[in-house]
Chain A
Amino acid sequence: MTSYRTFWVICGLYFLTLGFTTASGMEILKWIASKFEDFGSSLNVNRIPLYHFPDIWQNLIYISGLFKLVLSVMVVISITNEYQYRTLRQNIIDGMSRLEFVLSKVLTNVLLSLMSVAMLLLIIIVTGLIYTPDLAFADVITGAEFLLAYFLEIFAFLSYALMLGVFIQRSGLTIVVLMLSHMIEAIIKLNLFRESLNPSIGWLKQFFPLESITNLVPLPFARYAFQEIQDYVSITAIVIALTWAFLFNYFSYLKLKKADI
């Protein structure tokens, strides 16, 4: 497992892209601004405080959240390989318990999530200190709670990917289902909550698994178009997503416990 090349290549690529995209956003903005100047108009990059504390927390974390799909594909490959090469079977034969196996996979997910968090913390601190024009300590801290939400967002989604892998067992199909999940959930919601049906059950939406993961870190950019956004982490969202993360892993365990492998 540890020296599986593809695994580490994807892993490396993920962290590289993650780091590069999040860290270089300001430089890209500056570059666009300089192009504007070439055409005689001016664009003040500091007018949009993308990389200023405290905005930077939610901004970068939201963007990073989009990359979790890459990480989840890696998790799918690692679990479905265990079935395909039957190494899961041999591990059990060798004396691993099924619970231990699930725990080892869940722990890997925790580790991957923590690594993402650590990486992002570093990038935010560094870029934030560089680009924020006037630093105030209070501003630096505000919004840091999004890191917690980010951790849960990654971990819950990886748990979901792991569960799909355990149930489907074939890498190709699992990845397809994983990619289509958002769409499938959207279709279900669309059919369930058609306006005409019953508007009073709209609040149920937030309980859907993928929606609950998305709700952890709401889209921040609308605020730059003078719109009201949710710029805090909602406790309800945390509780719902946490429950789902637990359920995903529990379902994985139940399935594995009953299966002939």
Chain B
Amino acid sequence: METVLSINKLTKNFGKLCAVNQLDLEVKRGQVFGMLGPNGSGKTTTLGMLMGVTNPTSGSFTWFGEPATHHTRKKIGAVLEHPIFYPYLSGQKNLELNAMVKGANSANIEKVLDIVELSDRKEDKYRTYSLGMKQRLAIASALVSDPIILILDEPTNGLDPMGIAEIREIVKRIAADGKTIILASHLLDEVQKVCTHFAVLRKGKLMHSGPVDDVGKGEETVEVMAYHDDLGVLLQEFVGSGSIKKDNGIFQVMMKDGFHSQDLNKFLFEKGIITSHLMTKKKSLEKKFLEILFEAH
């Protein structure tokens, strides 16, 4: 697959503080790439360097295999941190300005306003928008040039669960369009739901990078409940059982390699036990995330 972004030993110092430290990263076309990391880990600073507003201390990066210029940026739609618009202009007018800077066709404006469902408020001044509407206008502005890549820095910051779900749907729709997306976020659940790949930063250093699907690989945990007094004992007899925990009356069985929930179910059924609850739990990104950060200590 074609490499869209390649980062090579990118570093940024703010005085003594090293905000981004020798970062290497690759993003390929069509990926939905999640950037994770605690507050202050350097996500925004990295994106700022990629978008030409923060000057790197050292290191380099290429977009589409070429060193970046302002022309490259026109092919990228990006919103860093907060939505930024002229408060005294309407949403429509702001997008017209964005389109002008990007050299984009202003006929796109109607389309992107539709995508983010802002068409009926487009004539209102930006400063009268709610936070959710501002975030959605920001996504619209990033889309206005029909970019190959979309960069979103915490697009759901400060939104209520419904707003978050709306943005998630928008991002999914855009991703389904085949666009490459780089998404910095704190919401691990969100990243797990929409991203194909992810990277974890900590204090400016890359701790991990890989496909999201890999997170669930490896050992599998199965939740079991049954109306049977000896369930705990029986579970221990099962050859595939690793460790077993009991939590709120539900058994959490960590399976050994190569064993799956259906094997456990079969085993219990043969013992004459019918489960009332049986669920395979993949490891959550959250757990993996905490593990990665923890290992680093």
Contact = CB atoms under 8 A, between A and B. Distances in A.
Interface of A: 1, 3-5, 85-87, 89-97, 100, 258-261
A105 to B, nearest CB: 14
A260 B70 contact: no
Given A93-B51, A93-B53, A85 B84 contact: yes
B73 A95 contact: yes
Interface stretch (B86-94, B164-172, B187-195, B230-238): B86-94
Nearest to B138: A90
A95 B88 contact: no
B3 to A, nearest CB: 21
A91 B89 CA distance: 15
Nearest to B90: A3
Contacts of B102: 94-95
Nearest to A3: B89
B217 interface: no
Interface residues of B, number: 29
B73 A94 contact: yes
Contacts, number: 64
A97 B73 CA distance: 10
Contacts of B69: 97
A261 B84 contact: no
Interface in B69-108: 69-74, 76, 78, 80, 82, 84-89, 93, 97-98, 101-103
A260 B73 contact: no
Interface in B138-197: 141
B87 to A, nearest CB: 7
Contacts of A92: 51-53, 70, 73
A1 B51 contact: no
Given A258-B55, A260-B54, A261-B53, A91 B86 contact: no
B242 interface: no
A93 B88 contact: no
A3 B87 CA distance: 11
A95 B77 CA distance: 9
A89 B84 contact: yes
A207 B87 CA distance: 42
A4 B86 contact: yes
Contacts of A259: 55
A8 to B, nearest CB: 11
